[in-house]
Copies of this chain bind each other. A is one copy, B any other.
């Protein structure tokens, strides 16, 4: 049997464009002699469509377009994900379904059983779980169709009472097909391969796995679709971070997975490039504006944006104040030159003085404090948004995860932007990204990498004045945020008690700031945003 794996990049809700693409892929798969073409989970509408799923008219659009897709499925079968109405009186209104299209019609509909509802997933918000298990015959092959999470209730930490493949295997399938919407994070690729292999080893049936590719605001889908033979060897594998269709003969003999040699940091780099590119393309914007401080965060974001959008579409703005060191300007200019991007200089000192003057009476009797630092950051935010508005650029935010975690940033100042590019990247990893970006030549000026980080909002300020070294800070943050490590465990790991309390206190207290940040491209198993939901008004 020859199966086309359609690892597609879907634009959520853009039915006409998506289905036109799918139809041309079906035609191409036919030409290549495929018996079956497989699209990802909820491929018809994109993932996650979130509360659009609560609109009956949205579901009806899905159905109409599934029917339209069925009309071209002659001489080839198709599996594609779509929401479908639950016609029972009880339960949620919808199923998360896989439609089998064959001979110009809908041959079969299979529903998802295990509905992930944790981290960034909200599926039980919308869907009723399946309770009926049956394999589907396609072109003479008995296929056990499952949807993403359905294969994940395996191993010691079973999150669900049910194991769908344990039921389906009783039906004697020749093949497993799993359609998925499994977003990238730096740990996910390895986990995913382990889980898929564990299924093949357990059920002794080959597996076709088709995942989404492309970014949906904060979520970045890496694809990495593949076919495993029943020994768990890889018959074929699709590229990560690229839209692709590939026809695979599933009766071929597999090979052990290649050691890709790709470092984690390269995956993160590719994920962020795709994240930026898709945000712009899917929002129908072309160009970005970025505030360039001469520091490492804005340099890395500018380099990523240049790779994603092209140098002609990236506009840097330098906004020095009286506190800016000479190297801030020279380093930022050198960066712009290295990247070949346009840059502009807008000093903030005069505007700052004008605010000071008007605020004189409101500030009477009060000495300088953080207010003045925030004011500078906010003037820069207003300038960047003005350039963004006037020229139709999207402002890219340059905050990193370490800053976002401890609230080291100014709301409506450096926290402005349409998209946060490195808000899920700890400062220590930002340096790794910088080195990776510089792997062939000096794009990010060496001085930007080697100098001590500073916000430059007052004389001689350094990040290390108010924060511990990033090496220590990032370790505590990762343990507390990604692993929910308790105070006692952190103490046992040898961190200072006062430091632990200070850092975790800062993380908790600054939830109110993170509530208003731009969406953050997600590259870790626990990113700020939809994956981490915290009360704002709380005391813990």
Interface residue ranges, A against B (CB under 8 Å) = 11-14, 17, 46, 48-52, 54-58, 60, 89-92, 117-118, 122, 124-125, 156, 158-161, 215-217, 278-279, 282-283, 317, 344, 346-348, 350-351, 353-355, 357-359, 361-363, 366, 369-371, 374-375, 378-379, 381-383, 385-387, 389-391, 411-412, 416, 418, 484, 486-488, 512, 515-519, 530, 532-540
Contacts and interface: CB of A to CB of B under 8 A. Distances in A.
A345 B517 CA distance: 30
Contact of A534 (B50, B90, B375, B488): B50
Given A358-B346, A386-B359, A122 B51 contact: no
Contacts of A517: 516
A48 B535 CA distance: 7
Contacts of A14: 538-540
A416 B516 CA distance: 9
Contacts of A351: 351, 354-355, 358
Given A12-B538, A484-B55, A383 B358 contact: yes
A58 to B, nearest CB: 7
B160 A536 contact: no
B535 A12 contact: yes
A493 to B, nearest CB: 14
Nearest to A540: B13
B515 A518 contact: yes
A382 to B, nearest CB: 5
B390 A363 contact: yes
A515 to B, nearest CB: 6
A13 B534 CA distance: 11
Q: Which are the 5 A-B pairs with shortest beta-carbon distances?
A: A13-B540, A57-B486, A12-B538, A354-B354, A371-B389
Given A518-B515, A540-B58, A390 B371 contact: yes
Nearest to A360: B346
Nearest to A284: B539
Nearest to A361: B344
Contact of A160 (B90, B117, B358): B90
Nearest to A89: B158
A11 B539 contact: yes
B390 A412 contact: no
Contact of A487 (B57, B536, B538): B57
B412 A54 contact: no
Contacts of A350: 354, 357-358
Contact of A49 (B382, B387, B535): B535
Contacts of A361: 344
A217 B535 contact: yes
Contacts of A48: 535
A126 B282 CA distance: 33
Nearest to A11: B539
A149 to B, nearest CB: 13
